[in-house]
Amino acid sequence: MYTGNPARILFGCGSRARLAEEIGRLGRSHALVLSTPFQKTDAEALVASLGPMAAGVFAGATMHTPREVTEGALSAYNDHGADCVVSLGGGSTIGLGKAIARRNGADHIVVATTYAGSEVTNILGETENGIKTTVRGPDILPETVIYDPELTLSLPVAMSVTSGLNAMAHAVEALYAQDRNPITTMIALEAIQALRDALPAIVATPDNIEARSRALYGSWLCGSVLGMAGMALHHKLCHTIGGSFDMPHAETHAVLLPHTTAYTERGAADLLKPVADLFAGPSAGVGLYDFAVSLGAPLSLASLGFAEADIERAAELATLNPYYNPQPIELEGIRTLIRRAWVGTRPA
């Protein structure tokens, strides 16, 4: 079975200049522009460029889409008489745009500035009283996405690396997803190859616009397969470790990816062989680890502030509810995986 997620994509340097035209194309005329506090100045510049098509800025987006922030943004939406939302930013801002659209049916245009991939998925994670719940639905998928590689030039190298590896994790898991199909596999491999080529070039020359374009292209494809295929061990473990131990999102993905891949590879060596080949590694897990080393990515959970004393609880939480993975999930193996990731050892 194959179900594509319908979205209109504008890709290319300078494509942000077409935002007003895209708002009009949806039959809207008054956009509330969303951003994090960090990107407020960029959001204000976007509002200025939109002129009368902008209703105002709400610059309160934050990690994990807390419900109280969404309530505040909905009030701003109504107070400004907005008729659509524009998210300028990464997964945190896009999450807020999705939460608004889900509640009031607003059209949602994303101007993506990281590689996380949320802009092309129908998935929304929200938190209330510290508990994160994830929902899927067609009303969550943004109508239009603008990918302007020039907007990613300001993404620091370290964030570009971890955000790119976060994206790559979507594609790696899509390769062994239970509901994978030849289309998702084709897109996933193209995505991994694009990021494999682009990230080292960005590390070497951060303002290399061709590399920035290729990374954004790869992250679009990674987000696409995240929205089309079910995820397994890697995403569940990142969700547990990120959510229950308040760990940074992209960095946690970056550290865990080689280890979750090495674990799963024992049950899906044939499906992950193309990844081993792409990274010229003896295995996919080792190839991904060596790639992370070459990029200067964070390698250990310890370096991200994860306490050794929490390894046991994390392993227990991660194995509490059984779920699909090509290599069955069992406590001893997951404990060993987390310990290796905590130290940052090269997968065996």
For 186, residues 6+ apart whose C-beta sits below 8 A from its C-beta are: none
Q: How far is C-alpha 340 from the geometric centre of its chain's CA atoms?
A: 24
User: At closest approach, how far in Å is the CB of 268 from ligand NAD?
Assistant: 23
* Residue 107 C-beta: closest distance to ligand NAD, Å: 18
What is each CA distance from 95 to 41, 60, 61, 64, 88, in whole angstroms? Answer: 20, 12, 8, 8, 11
Residues 6+ positions from 40 with CB-CB distance below 8 Å:
57, 59
> Any contact of residue 257 with ligand NAD (CB under 6 A)?
no
Residue from 56, 60, 66, 91 touching ligand NAD (CB under 6 A): that is 91
CB 226 within 8 A of CB 121: yes
At its nearest, how many Å lie between ligand NAD and the CB of residue 167?
8
Q: How far apart are the first and last CA of the chain?
A: 35
The continuous run of DSSP H or E covering 7 comes out as none
Judged by CB under 6 A, the number of residues near ligand NAD is: 28
At closest approach, how far in Å is the CB of 162 from ligand NAD?
A: 8
Strands 8-11 and 31-34: unpaired
Site for ligand NAD in 27-56 (CB under 6 A): 36, 38-39
For ligand NAD, the closer of residues 5 and 300 by Cβ is 5
Q: Using CB under 6 A as the criterion, what x/- string covers residues 164-203 for binding ligand NAD? A: ----------------------------------------
Structure tokens at 66: 């807390």
The CA distance from 147 to 12, in Å, is: 6
Min. distance of Cβ 328 from ligand NAD in angstroms? 26
Per CB under 6 A, does 93 bind ligand NAD?
yes
- Of 16 and 340, which CB lies nearer to ligand NAD in the complex structure? 16
User: Which range binds ligand NAD by CB under 6 A, 14-22, 122-130, 172-180, 319-327?
Assistant: 122-130
CA distance 65 to 214: 28
Q: Which of residues 217-256 bind ligand NAD (CB under 6 A)?
A: 226, 249-250
Q: How far apart are the C-alpha atoms of 221 and 9, rounded to whole Å?
A: 11
Choosing from 144, 152, 240, 327, the residue that interacts with ligand NAD (CB under 6 A) is 152
> What are the residues binding ligand NAD (CB under 6 A)?
36, 38-39, 63-64, 89-93, 95, 113-114, 116-118, 121, 123-125, 151-152, 154-155, 163, 226, 249-250
